């Protein structure tokens, strides 16, 4: 039986001080197979892959390559054995060309001289790109390539090592839909060439699009491996969460109250034009569209992070000027950015400090920050939002994505905003934490906050929003009521098909 | 979990203090011990004494005052190269104005003329420092020029301005009371300069740790965009930080000029690097966001004890420079290992 | 916060509770007579990088050995505040006398006053301090040196021409040299000093200053460099401008490099030579006299001479 597998990982155990990260890791991979590995954050997927890539040693267990036991000493050794990793953040040198990146550190030489054999390097690089049917100039500097092209370069680099096993960690996170299609085509091509792939993703749709088998892990434990054709979405979620998730979108309905926020003909040159809509007490409004349609730009403009060239913002019936995020916060508008690490949190600061940052002034007693009140407030939020942490003095960088998002949420809850804009609030967050975020959104709406949710994930938009605004190339293409909205209608608006827009 | 929960009161106890500063304190103690042993074996006066401690504090007062401002700048993710020039500039301006005012007031027989002249000199010098800081701040915030470049330009201009004002030779013939800031002792033993320095450290410590401003400074250094989108007035805070650093550099310059009873435009060359060294040895990260005033104080002492100690045991200046370099590296390495442990 | 400061204060106290000095006097070294303690002299000199000071220090060390003094040498390296710190440290160590060659003649005065208040005698060598109570100043007779080189220059010019000075006005000894130089030239009404360019006394700056001077005064005849670094900087400027045949230079100090330049027939024609070794010896002798209770003069001038190509060649043969 061992002959049919290119890779077998058996009974892998990995302990860290105080934690068992992987209790019994199991994974098998056939040539030409796409094996999806799923689990919530902290389930042990990454640790298992780090062991495979030689980045971390295992405490016990066995790794067999084509039936032969091996010990992997280092990432370099793993590469020699034909195992390549493609991480979410690429390992490319931005100002070097595609070919130089592919052969970085092992450039072909002119004979035994120290000089690079450029023609051989370019030809070899072209051959590899041809093998995966990618049309890309090998002399182009990598920083001039799109994110998707950079990913192709990473894959080409992996192939140049004659890899038989390629691990892709969240390869789709930064890609547009169109680019994702290209990636899937490439994966299909690699399958035909007999390369085994381990594919890690939070997006369950992708498993059904390209996966052959799926392995689920939970809390460091191996749960099960199934052919993808034998399971459905709910089955996978149940295995991941350990219980049936009855309401993936726990939408609650509230009575619509008075208008809170209205934007009139908001314009920022080069980003969006004449955007008008309103938000009411008690509703969640979705803002969707293709990447680059101007959704985030509208949100930043309302929040004062970018200048507007025209239009007006009306809050609770009164026109307001918002020139900076400070103004916005003072008026009661908050923005949860998509990029939590660079725009949402100060990673080196503690949960306590991040929580109070946007409303520190409310804690000032004669010039000084009231520390004990601050601690009390931070502790309350940790409890209320169920942030998993040893304490409020933990720095934000040590938290998982979901918990980081909760800290961002805590920050905005503490500002007591009237209007909250969520930009891709669940991106990169596992299923369980997603539901918690949705519940918190419900709680906010119950308290009278109105929410504008920007999201590219249509099921989420359809599941949580009362109303859906769709943008196309900087314009508001249309607005759909919850009861009328379907994926097809949204996509039609988003791609510029101006069907009868309502409201 | 790597980070144990802090005690419920959350107040950093002595144990926390030792954990955070232990390495630096050990380094400081080691340094003192080495000098004491060498001093004894060579038959020089013992190195460890109260008088010597005061001497060391006195000799580090100038760098000390400036390092408080520099700590804020570096925690906010910036750097200020102009402080060395500002030290000279502050002395020149203070001396010139004091001398001019003293001449004018004494001829008019104003009571306490020298003290008024002194106060006037301080005020004008501090205002000039504030102006220089405003310029740095303006270029860094409004025009988005990297702090390294902006303060490098200020460094050059201010140095030149100092020379222009006095034509290359020091301002002397100052009133006798001019030495108050640098040479006067309170209660016979405690130098005014040391009191000024300690006040700067205590004030700086409170500002950084206990006020929203200090929190904002750390937030900006930790992630400027996140801070901005959290409503932190990033430009205003940075502006204030550079003004503060420049004004403190002027205070340092006034102390030095008072010590020498002269306004010398040539002093302070390279002092910015000494000050940055004290801040960095004290555990402040050059990439911003992380650092403490207390750490800077200990870092300053490590460097000051070294300078005085090496002179004490008779090492000449080139050798001192070599050893200073080694100590800076060693202190930063120790800090790294602490981070890894 | 509070605890932090408390711990720090504790640390400071701990440092303070180290063994108190039993006696302020350093221990006598075994080879001296047990009755009489070895005297300690602290010296804070301008720089280690000038040949002049190296010769001065070597002579000082030899002479100190003869008198059985301990000599502790520090260099300010052109840093005035560092020099003040060195004086304070010597004073704290309780040395018996301090020698200083000030970087900033005015700025060193308060430090000297404080040291004197501790009862420690202070002597200046080479460069004087302004308005400071020093026991004695031991230095080349700079006024004489300036006058001698001025007379040489006037003779070479046949009493007529335009002269520039590469100056360093902030230093007292240089002011004296220039004063003597001007005294000498005042006897020649047809010689004019057209420019004084500050060159900082270091070669690269002096060279740039000289280049500016040459630009501004195309009809210049001669340059006076206030020390050999200034003169050699000016020489480099002349040679790169190709003017070495038209203009000549006189210098000051007689360093080996300057001697070579004079011997080699360059535009550098003559130098005032000081005798740094004599200054160093004389300084220690004056201090020894002071220790012995003798009266010493306020100023001890040390002889200077003029060297030119002819005198150097004679010296080599002899």
* B3–A394 C-beta distance less than 8 A: yes
Token pair, residue A349, equals 């600061």
Task: Find the CB nearest B229 among A343, A363, A393.
Answer: A343
Chain A residue closest to B2 (CA)? Answer: A17
Cβ neighbours of C123 (radius 10 Å):
23
Same fold, C38-134 and C142-274+307-317: yes
Chain A hits for B207, Cβ within 8 Å: none
CA distance C316 to chain B (A): 35
pLDDT in tens, chain C (318 residues): 444 444 444 444 444 444 444 444 444 444 444 446 889 999 999 998 888 899 999 999 999 999 999 999 999 998 989 999 999 999 999 999 999 999 988 899 999 999 999 999 999 999 889 889 999 999 989 899 999 999 999 999 999 999 999 999 877 789 989 999 999 999 999 999 999 999 988 899 999 999 999 999 999 999 999 999 999 999 999 999 999 899 999 999 888 899 999 999 999 999 999 889 999 999 999 999 999 999 999 999 999 999 999 999 988 887
* A329–B223 C-beta distance less than 8 A: no
DSSP B152-206: HHHHHHHHHHHHHHHTTS-B----GGGGHHHH-EETTTEEHHHHHHHHHHHHHHH
What is the Cα–Cα distance from C154 to C165, expressed in whole angstroms? 14
Listed by start position, the domains of chain C span 38-134, 142-274+307-317
> Residues 214..233 of B with a Cβ closer than 8 Å to A: which?
215-216, 218-219, 222-223, 225-233
* B225–A342 C-beta distance less than 8 A: yes
Count of A-B CB contacts under 8 Å: 95
Q: In sequence order, what are the residues at sequence separation of 6 or more whose Cβ sits closer than 8 angstroms to the Cβ of residue A391?
A: A351, B3, B5, B6
- pLDDT, tens only, A75-129: 889 988 999 988 877 788 889 999 999 998 888 888 888 899 999 999 999 998 9
Q: In sequence order, what are the residues at sequence separation of 6 or more whose Cβ sits closer than 8 angstroms to the Cβ of residue A55?
A: A75
Residue C166 parent element (H or E): strand C161-167
> Residues 134..173 of A with a Cβ closer than 8 Å to B: which?
none
Residue B3 lies in a domain: no
Q: Contact at 8 Å (CB) between A451 and A285?
A: yes
pLDDT of the residue at C22: 40
Chain C hits for B297, Cβ within 8 Å: 8
Q: In sequence order, what are the residues at sequence separation of 6 or more whose Cβ sits closer than 8 angstroms to the Cβ of residue A470?
A: A288, A289, A476, A477, A478, A479, A480, A490, A493, A494
pLDDT of the residue at A87: 82
Question: Bigger pLDDT: A271 or B18?
Answer: A271
Q: Contact at 8 Å (CB) between C123 and C288?
A: no
CA distance B206 to chain C (A): 8
Q: In sequence order, what are the residues at sequence separation of 6 or more whose Cβ sits closer than 8 angstroms to the Cβ of residue C131?
A: B172, C106, C109
Q: Does A393 touch chain B (CB under 8 A)?
A: yes
pLDDT of the residue at B241: 97
Considering the segment(s) A2-241 as one domain, its CATH architecture is 3-Layer(aba) Sandwich (3.40)
Query: What subunits touch chain B, counting only 3 or more CB pairs under 8 A?
Result: A, C
CA distance B173 to chain A (A): 44
Task: Find the CB nearest A346 among B210, B219, B233.
Answer: B219
What is the Cα–Cα distance from A156 to C179, expressed in whole angstroms? 79
Residue B276 lies in a domain: yes
CATH number of C142-274+307-317: 3.40.50.2300
* A342–B223 C-beta distance less than 8 A: yes
pLDDT of the residue at C143: 92
Residue B23 parent element (H or E): helix B14-41
Q: Does B212 touch chain A (CB under 8 A)?
A: yes
Residue B274 lies in a domain: yes
How far is residue C101 from each of residues A144, B212, C83, measured CA to CA in Å? 62, 51, 9
CATH of the domain at B136: 1.10.3470
- pLDDT, tens only, B79-102: 999 999 999 999 999 999 999 999
What is the Cα–Cα distance from B83 to B87, expressed in whole angstroms? 6
Domain count of the fold of chain B:
1
Q: Contact at 8 Å (CB) between C209 and C166?
A: yes
Residue B126 lies in a domain: yes
Q: Does B341 touch chain A (CB under 8 A)?
A: no
Superfamily of domain C38-134: Response regulator (3.40.50.2300)
| SS3 category, A316 | coil
Chain A hits for B231, Cβ within 8 Å: 324-326, 328-330, 357-359, 415
Q: Does B43 touch chain C (CB under 8 A)?
A: yes
Chain C hits for B55, Cβ within 8 Å: 88-89, 92
What is the Cα–Cα distance from B125 to B131, expressed in whole angstroms? 10
Chain B residue closest to A357 (CA)? Answer: B230
CA distance A347 to chain B (A): 7
Token pair, residue B6, equals 């802090």
What is the Cα–Cα distance from A440 to C56, expressed in whole angstroms? 82
Listed by start position, the domains of chain A span 2-241, 257-332+417-425+450-498
Band of residue A65 on the pLDDT scale cut at 50, 70, 90:
very high
- Environment class of residue B121 by beta-carbon count within 10 Å: exposed (0-12), middle (13-18) or buried (19+)? buried
Q: Contact at 8 Å (CB) between C82 and B237?
A: no
CATH number of A257-332+417-425+450-498: 3.40.50.300
Residue B28 lies in a domain: no
What is the Cα–Cα distance from C248 to C251, expressed in whole angstroms? 10
- Which residues form the domain of B229? 46-340
> Residues 165..194 of B with a Cβ closer than 8 Å to C: which?
167-170, 172-173, 179, 182-183
How far is residue A111 from each of residues A160, A209, B27, B201, C77, measured CA to CA in Å? 20, 47, 54, 64, 55
* C114–B183 C-beta distance less than 8 A: yes
Chain A residue closest to B223 (CA)? Answer: A346
Token pair, residue A278, equals 């309103």
Cross-strand pairs, B308: none
> Does this model's pTM top 0.95?
no
Question: Bigger pLDDT: B188 or B324?
Answer: B324
Q: Contact at 8 Å (CB) between A454 and A422?
A: yes
Same fold, A2-241 and A257-332+417-425+450-498: yes
Residue B76 lies in a domain: yes
CA distance B172 to chain C (A): 6
């Amino acid at each position: 039986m061992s002959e049919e597998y290119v890779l077998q990982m058996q009974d892998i155990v990995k302990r860290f001080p105080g934690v068992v990260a992987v209790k019994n890791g199991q994974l098998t991979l056939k040539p030409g197979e796409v094996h999806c590995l799923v689990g919530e954050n902290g389930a042990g997927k990454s640790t298992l892959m780090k062991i495979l890539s030689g980045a971390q040693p295992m405490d016990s267990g066995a790794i067999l390559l084509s039936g032969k036991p091996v010990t992997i000493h280092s990432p370099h050794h793993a590469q020699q054995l034909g195992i390549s990793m493609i991480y979410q953040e690429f390992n490319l040198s931005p100002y070097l060309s595609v070919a130089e990146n592919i052969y970085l550190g092992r450039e072909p030489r002119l004979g035994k001289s120290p000089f690079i054999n450029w023609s051989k390097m370019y030809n070899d690089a072209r051959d590899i790109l041809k093998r995966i049917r990618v049309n890309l100039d090998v002399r182009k500097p990598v920083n001039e390539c799109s994110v998707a092209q950079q990913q192709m370069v990473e894959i080409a680099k992996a192939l140049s090592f004659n890899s038989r096993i390629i691990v892709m960690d969240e390869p789709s996170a930064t890609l547009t839909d169109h680019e994702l299609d290209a990636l899937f085509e490439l994966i299909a091509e690699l399958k035909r060439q007999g390369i085994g792939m381990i594919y890690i993703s939070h997006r369950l749709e992708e498993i059904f699009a390209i996966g052959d088998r799926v392995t689920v892990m939970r809390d460091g434990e191996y749960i099960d491996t199934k052919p993808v054709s034998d399971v459905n979405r709910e089955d996978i979620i149940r295995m991941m969460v350990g219980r049936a998730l009855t309401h993936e979108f726990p939408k609650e309905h509230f009575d619509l109250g008075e208008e809170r926020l209205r934007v009139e003909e908001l314009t920022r040159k080069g980003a969006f034009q004449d955007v008008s809509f309103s938000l009411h007490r008690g509703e969640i409004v979705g803002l969707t569209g293709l990447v680059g349609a101007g959704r985030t730009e509208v949100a930043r403009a309302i929040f004062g992070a970018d200048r507007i060239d025209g239009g007006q913002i009306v809050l609770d019936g009164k026109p307001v000027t918002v020139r900076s995020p400070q103004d916005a916060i003072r008026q009661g508008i908050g923005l949860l950015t998509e990029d939590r690490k660079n725009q949402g949190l100060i990673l080196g600061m503690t949960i306590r400090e991040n929580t109070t940052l946007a409303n520190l002034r409310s804690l000032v007693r004669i010039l000084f920050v009231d520390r004990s009140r601050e601690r009390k407030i931070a502790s309350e939020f940790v409890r209320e939002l169920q942030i998993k942490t040893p304490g409020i003095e933990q720095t934000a960088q040590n938290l998982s994505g979901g918990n980081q998002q909760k800290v961002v949420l805590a920050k905005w809850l503490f500002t007591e905003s009237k209007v909250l804009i969520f930009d891709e609030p669940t991106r990169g967050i596992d299923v369980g934490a997603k539901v918690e975020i949705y519940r918190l959104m419900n709680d906010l709406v119950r308290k009278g906050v109105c929410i504008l949710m920007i999201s590219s994930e249509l099921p989420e938009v359809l599941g949580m929003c009362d109303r859906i605004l769709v943008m196309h190339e900087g314009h508001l293409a249309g607005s759909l009521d919850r009861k009328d909205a379907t994926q097809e209608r949204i996509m039609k608006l988003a791609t510029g098909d101006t069907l009868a827009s309502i409201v | 979990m790597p980070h144990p929960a802090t005690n419920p009161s959350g107040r950093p106890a002595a144990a926390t203090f030792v954990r955070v500063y232990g390495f630096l304190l050990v380094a400081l103690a080691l340094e003192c011990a080495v000098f004491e042993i060498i001093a004894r074996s060579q038959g020089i006066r013992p190195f460890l004494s109260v008088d010597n401690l005061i001497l060391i504090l006195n000799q580090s007062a100038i760098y000390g005052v400036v390092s408080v401002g520099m700590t804020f700048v570096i925690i906010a993710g910036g750097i200020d190269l102009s402080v060395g020039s500002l030290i000279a500039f502050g002395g020149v301006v203070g001396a010139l104005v004091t001398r001019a005012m003293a001449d004018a007031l004494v001829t008019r027989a104003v009571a306490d003329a020298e003290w008024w002249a002194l106060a006037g000199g301080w005020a004008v010098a501090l205002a000039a420092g504030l102006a220089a800081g405003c310029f740095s701040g303006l270029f860094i915030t409004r025009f988005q020029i990297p702090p390294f470049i902006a303060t490098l330009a200020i460094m050059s201009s201010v140095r030149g301005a100092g020379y222009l004002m006095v034509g290359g030779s020091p301002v002397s013939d100052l009133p006798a009371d001019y030495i108050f800031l640098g040479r006067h002792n309170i209660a016979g033993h405690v130098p005014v300069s040391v009191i000024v320095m300690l006040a700067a450290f205590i004030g700086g410590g409170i500002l950084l740790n206990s006020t929203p401003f200090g929190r904002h400074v750390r937030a900006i250094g930790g992630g400027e965009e996140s801070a901005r989108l959290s409503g932190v007035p990033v430009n205003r805070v940075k502006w204030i930080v550079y003004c503060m650093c420049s004004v403190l550099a002027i205070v340092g310059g006034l102390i030095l000029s008072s010590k020498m009873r002269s306004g010398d435009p040539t002093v302070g060359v390279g002092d910015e690097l000494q000050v940055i060294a004290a801040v960095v040895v004290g555990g402040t990260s050059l990439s911003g966001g992380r650092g403490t005033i207390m750490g800077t104080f200990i870092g300053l002492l490590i460097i000051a004890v070294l300078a005085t100690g090496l002179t004490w045991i008779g090492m000449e200046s080139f050798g001192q420079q070599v050893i200073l370099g080694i100590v800076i590296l060693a202190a930063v390495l120790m800090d790294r290992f602490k981070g890894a442990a | 916060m509070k605890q932090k400061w408390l711990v720090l204060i504790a640390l400071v106290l701990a440092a303070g509770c180290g063994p108190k000095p039993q006696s302020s006097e350093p221990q006598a070294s075994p080879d001296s007579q047990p009755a009489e303690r070895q005297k300690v002299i602290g010296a804070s000199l301008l720089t280690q990088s000038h040949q002049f000071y190296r010769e001065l220090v070597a002579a000082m060390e030899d002479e100190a050995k003869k008198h059985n003094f301990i000599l502790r040498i520090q260099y300010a390296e052109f840093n005035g505040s560092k020099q003040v710190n060195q004086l304070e440290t010597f004073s704290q160590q309780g040395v018996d006398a301090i020698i200083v060659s000030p970087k900033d003649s005015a700025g060193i005065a308060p430090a000297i006053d404080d040291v004197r208040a501790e009862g420690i005698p202070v002597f200046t060598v080479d460069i004087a301090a302004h308005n400071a109570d020093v026991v004695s100043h031991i230095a080349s007779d700079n006024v004489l040196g300036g006058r001698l080189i001025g007379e040489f220059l006037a003779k070479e010019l046949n009493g007529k021409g335009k002269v520039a000075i590469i100056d360093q006005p902030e230093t007292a000894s240089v002011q004296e040299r220039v004063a003597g130089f001007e005294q000498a030239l005042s006897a020649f009404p047809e010689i004019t000093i057209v420019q004084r360019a500050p060159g900082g006394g270091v070669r690269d700056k002096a060279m740039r200053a000289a280049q500016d001077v040459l630009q501004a005064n195309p009809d210049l005849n001669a340059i006076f460099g206030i020390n050999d670094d200034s003169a050699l900087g000016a020489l480099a400027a002349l040679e790169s401008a190709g003017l070495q045949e038209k203009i000549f230079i006189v210098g000051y100090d007689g360093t080996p490099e300057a001697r070579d330049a004079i011997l080699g027939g360059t535009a550098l024609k003559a130098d005032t030579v000081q005798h740094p070794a004599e200054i160093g010896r004389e300084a220690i002798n004056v201090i020894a006299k002071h220790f012995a209770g003798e009266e010493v003069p306020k100023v001890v001038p040390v002889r200077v001479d003029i060297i030119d190509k002819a005198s150097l060649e004679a010296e080599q043969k002899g």
